[in-house]
Amino acid sequence: MNRRSLIAALSAFATAPTFAAAQSYDPAIVDALSRYLNTITTMQGTFTQQAPDGQQIAEGEFFMKRPGRMRFEYFDPYPLEMIADGTWAGVINRQTKTLTQVPLSRTPLYLLLDENIDLASSGSIQSIERAPGIVNARAIDPSNPGQGSITMVFSTTPVQLLKWVITDEQGRSSVISLRNVTRGQYIDPRKFVINDPSFDRSGRNEK
Distance CA 67, CA 112 (A): 9
Q: Average pLDDT, whole number, for the chain?
A: 81
Position 86 scores a pLDDT of 95
Q: State the fold for domain 3-179.
A: outer membrane lipoprotein receptor (LolB), chain A (2.50.20)
pTM comes to 0.80
Residues 83-101: pLDDT tens digits? Answer: 999 999 999 998 999 999 9
Q: Where are the domains of the chain?
A: 3-179
Position 120 scores a pLDDT of 80
Position 5 scores a pLDDT of 43
